[in-house]
Structure 1
Amino acid sequence: MSTNVHIKRLSTGVPGFNEVLGGGLPEFSFNLIAGPPGSGKTTLAHQMMFALATAERPALYFTVLGEPPLKMLRYQQQFQFFQTHAINHSVRYINLSMDTLAGDLGEVLRRIVGEVETYSPGLIFVDSFRSVVLASQTQANPNNNLPQFVQQLGLMMTSWQATTFLIGEYFSQTESNPIFTVADGLIWMGQSVQRNSMVRQMQIMKMRGQPSLPGLHTFRINQTGLEVFAPVQNAVKPKAAQPASRARLGTGIAGLDEMLGGGLPQGYSLLVAGPSGSGKTILAASFLASGAQQGEKGVIAVFEQSPNRLQSPELLTLIESDRVGVVDSHASDLSIDEIVHRLLGEIERLGATRVVIDSLSGFELALAPTFRADFRESLSCLVSALSQAGVSVLMTCELEDRYTDLRFSPYGTAFMTDAIIVQRYIEIDSRLMRVMAVVKVRASAHSDELRLYEISDEGMVVGHPLKSHEGLLGGRPSLMSPPTQKGH
């Protein structure tokens, strides 16, 4: 029989934060939330406080030399997590500014102890603890002993059986500070600005007694508060393994299904590569509409144009009826983890089985500059996460038609997908025609023909195979040679 002490973990109420912490916040732990101004420390503290505070576990929020309580409340009320009815009941604010200005750490400690003994809180917040330290350093008080103050505060808060948070403005993780040693948990928050994008990230530098996730984790502040995006590998709940013999999914284009060997195998990722105007988005819309006709729901991630400009009335109808969900972002500061979370959230909400990403070119531009250097790795994570989720994925990719070479992706990532369709232009009898080919369908027979296709008001129609006299072997230009120019 195990005699190990079990530490209860509190759910923070911050989406994604429990996963990053390693399962939640250890009860009765002594934590430091640190980082530069504007990084979201106070908002994180309030979001956790309103999620955790109850009549049985009340919270005390000590304000020091930063914002006075009224000013702080004015801004925190703008977030959806704020609960007005909790003020002066399960949540109380105590202003320590006058005690701090006196510069006597002993008096500050006595004031904190007195309020704690009066209200017996289960949650304690001191914001900003850094202000207490700075005020003590500016006073010529020989009785101020910062290490002793920190040690006493830590011991007292532990003995009070309260979960404690010290919020402080620190600019470097390498600062020598006794509080870094005493704290059970150290949450570092920061932000970086590149061009017109701002990336917010946090790091769990220490969390005693549990395996927190290493590395930097992106987060966003919106009207709901903070949302933390755990690493991709931790965001996916793997589905049951697919059977060796997979069902085939129709694309809604009969000729293309034939070329694929009966449709796209269920759970596969398909890359549709082609130049501008070749019909990639039309094919993607047909893929989702075909699924809807079979009772399947889908999700489309749009990075280049708004959904109402997809030029597919049928797809717009599916979106309006919530049979197709939309992840629509034109932000320039996304991370791969945030994009995957948005997609997985829509997939789970709808029970979707088909996903479209239109397009990878827009996806790359949507990433913050700091993440674009690792775009290939980001794309690999995205494909892997969606594959583990058990959905079938169609991705479009803008591909410049150079005529003299045959490429499937400008990123060197075609090997990551299970199937590839390439679209190209050729010139026949002074007309620009479209052709497509199925380059690969992993572990499946498929057509090796080049087929002409047309785009009309009815959608995409795949025609007959391209004949030699239509440009492959005759005197007219072929797919692999540049078009002729009149007068030369």
Structure 2
Amino acid sequence: MQQAPLPRLRTGIPGFDVLVGGGLIEGTSIIIQGRPGSGKTILANQIAFHHASQGGRVLCATVLAEPHERLFQFLSTLSFFDRERVGVDIQYVSAFDTLRSGGLAAVVALLRREIIRHRATLMLVDGLLTARGAAETALDTKMFVAELQGHAAFAGCGVLFLTSALLDDGSPEHTMVDGVVELAEQIGVARSSRWLTLRKTRGTAAIGGRHEFEIGADGVVVHPRLEALLGFSPEAAEMSNPTPEELTAELAADRRTPRVNVAIEGFDHLLGGGLPCGSGTLIASPSGGGKTLASLCFLAGSTLAEPGLMVGFFEPPVRLVRKGEAVGLPIARLAGSGALRFLHCGLAVRSIDAIGHEILTAVFDYGIKRIVIDSAGALFRIASNPGRVVEFFFALTSVLRQRGVTVLTTWETPDMTGSTSTAVISTDAASGAQGGLWSSQIYSSCDNLLSVHFDDRGGVLRRILRVQKMRDSHYDPQQRELQIASDGLRLVTTAAL
């Protein structure tokens, strides 16, 4: 007999509820831990104000010496803070003096009265570390947490305990509560990263591991690790494990894949009619090889019915428009009509998961059918953990492929001249010593691989394009010269080749 799902408390934190199966279980007790400045207070108060906006009543209790007015001053800079709710459906109570005069037992008695008086359905207790310091033994700490939980549960009230101590799994507090959320910050050279980890989740299937989050004008936004989120999705599991009937129907269907045209003269002929619709293509070349221009030629086929998206890290949209117009591509017109959109990410602002979610949001909202990622090397630069970029990239492109989106990704190689094979396997300068391994894994995750290298034989520098592979498709293996002129790009066969 299937049991009814447990009622959930929606937190209102973008990206958080999906990690915990739709929200916190009502009446649950959670520890939010992290060093000072990690975002605990913002996270907890954001949950509190969202809960109040949904008709709940919140009691915010602190055993810290900091006055509430100082807290309100900082919270007022965030959009979720509503001063009119303070004193109405959100009550702030200080238990600091009570702790000093009567100890933990007096604090429990005070909070029990306040829960009943305000008919609270959610309680925040800030300063668990202070309470722990006031306890004479570990048993006292355990009794303090247990008694607060008991009184809150009797009243139908959930509890969020906040502490700046990084408690271990065997601490008295951890053993008593239903869940533990840990916040941390990693200081990097280009940018700092904030991480949220679900250390304990009782009674719910959660997406574990570290997930990056950001704090902005609207408060906390969590970006679940894309590969973990998609692997956790029931829809993804169904798509990866077809039934025998579905597999038979798939094989019996007409599998002639439609082609996507690219505005480079001779390109579609080289690839047997164009890029297969819904495929992933990587074009690798050194700087100046024409990767970005080729990408714009691909996006030049975007329409209102099948829009395109340019995801860039180095060149802003205005520069890309000018670059396209310089070779006769109607990039400005396409952008003005809405057939082509730009997502300029930069290198030091967003996490790769934030970028991945923005790409998928654009696909869902606008029906994007052509995407350029310029370039994959930038993902390694901005990733806090470059080792997971390959898994992230594979997960992202897999979802796009399932939705019939054709993806073109660029990759910069350091070789200016040399054979095509040398250009392909070279280590990307942005990826460090691991670049060779990562690049080969990125290549293997793509359906099609194109490479461009320079050839200076005869005293003339030429760009040479070659199709390295096309999965499940015919193509012309003959390499071509890629010529760039004011009236467009073209592939030609020359005697030098």
TM-score, with structure 2 as normaliser = 0.85
Q: Which residue type is aligned with residue 290 of structure 1?
A: G
Residue equivalent to 1:300? 310
Q: Per-residue displacement from partner, 1:420-466 (whole Å, max 9, x unpaired)?
A: 22112222542212221222221111111222232122331223x23
Query: Which of 396, 404, 421 lines up with 2:410 in the alignment?
Result: 396
Q: Secondary structure at the match of 1:18?
A: coil
Residue equivalent to 1:439? 468
> Are 1:344 and 2:360 counterparts?
yes
| Matched-pair contact (CA < 8 Å) for 1:450–1:466 | no
Query: Which of 409, 412, 421 lines up with 2:440 in the alignment?
Result: 412
Residue equivalent to 1:40? 39
Change (3 A) 1:326 1:55: closer
Aligned equivalents of 1:220, 1:305: Cα separation in 2: 24
Change (3 A) 1:331 1:66: farther
Higher helix residue share: 2
Aligned equivalents of 1:317, 1:397: Cα separation in 2: 27
Q: Which residue type is aligned with residue 494 of structure 2?
A: L
Q: Per-residue displacement from partner, 1:312-359 (whole Å, max 9, x unpaired)?
A: 244355445543333322244754433321211222222111111001
Q: Secondary structure at the match of 2:45?
A: helix
Aligned equivalents of 1:30, 1:104: Cα separation in 2: 22
Pairwise mapping of residues 234-383 of structure 1 onto structure 2 (< 5 A)? 234-235=229-230, 244-292=255-303, 295-310=305-320, 311-313=323-325, 314-319=330-335, 321-332=337-348, 335-368=351-384, 371-383=385-397
Q: Secondary structure at the match of 2:302?
A: helix
Aligned equivalents of 1:458, 1:130: Cα separation in 2: 69
Deviation at 1:172, TM superposition (A): 4.3
Aligned equivalents of 1:321, 1:46: Cα separation in 2: 42
Deviation at 1:121, TM superposition (A): 0.9
Aligned equivalents of 1:290, 1:99: Cα separation in 2: 70
| Matched-pair contact (CA < 8 Å) for 1:323–1:350 | no
Aligned equivalents of 1:79, 1:318: Cα separation in 2: 37
Moved more, 60-69 or 314-323: 314-323
Change (3 A) 1:343 1:145: same
Aligned equivalents of 2:34, 2:450: Cα separation in 1: 48
> Are 1:466 and 2:494 counterparts?
yes
Aligned equivalents of 1:136, 1:103: Cα separation in 2: 12
Residue equivalent to 2:433? none
Aligned equivalents of 1:14, 1:315: Cα separation in 2: 37
| Matched-pair contact (CA < 8 Å) for 1:34–1:170 | yes
Deviation at 1:117, TM superposition (A): 1.5
Aligned equivalents of 1:380, 1:55: Cα separation in 2: 38
Q: Per-residue displacement from partner, 1:12-48 (whole Å, max 9, x unpaired)?
A: 1111111111221101111111121111111111111
Q: Which residue type is aligned with residue 344 of structure 1?
A: L
Residue equivalent to 1:426? 455
Query: How many equivalent pairs are there?
Result: 458
TM-score, with structure 1 as normaliser = 0.87
Gaps of 5+ in 1: 473-488
Q: Which residue type is aligned with residue 383 of structure 1?
A: T
Aligned equivalents of 1:19, 1:250: Cα separation in 2: 38
Deviation at 1:122, TM superposition (A): 0.9
Aligned equivalents of 1:267, 1:457: Cα separation in 2: 30
| Matched-pair contact (CA < 8 Å) for 2:481–2:494 | yes
Pairwise mapping of residues 472-487 of structure 1 onto structure 2 (< 5 A)? 472=497
Q: Secondary structure at the match of 1:363?
A: helix
Gaps of 5+ in 2: 240-249, 428-438
Q: Secondary structure at the match of 1:75?
A: helix
Residue equivalent to 2:485? 456
Deviation at 1:134, TM superposition (A): 2.3
Aligned equivalents of 1:145, 1:341: Cα separation in 2: 45
| Matched-pair contact (CA < 8 Å) for 2:27–2:157 | yes
| Matched-pair contact (CA < 8 Å) for 1:434–1:452 | yes
| Matched-pair contact (CA < 8 Å) for 2:347–2:378 | no
> Are 1:181 and 2:195 counterparts?
no
> Are 1:63 and 2:62 counterparts?
yes
Change (3 A) 1:243 1:180: farther
How well do the aligned residues superpose, as a CA RMSD in angstroms? Answer: 2.5
Residue equivalent to 1:481? none
Deviation at 1:245, TM superposition (A): 2.0
Q: Which residue type is aligned with residue 418 of structure 2?
A: Y
Quote the sequence identity (%).
27
Deviation at 1:270, TM superposition (A): 0.6
Q: Which residue type is aligned with residue 18 of structure 1?
A: D
Residue equivalent to 1:83? 82
Q: Per-residue displacement from partner, 1:166-208 (whole Å, max 9, x unpaired)?
A: 111112434x532211111211111222334322111212222
Residue equivalent to 2:242? none
Q: Secondary structure at the match of 2:289?
A: coil
Moved more, 146-155 or 383-392: 383-392
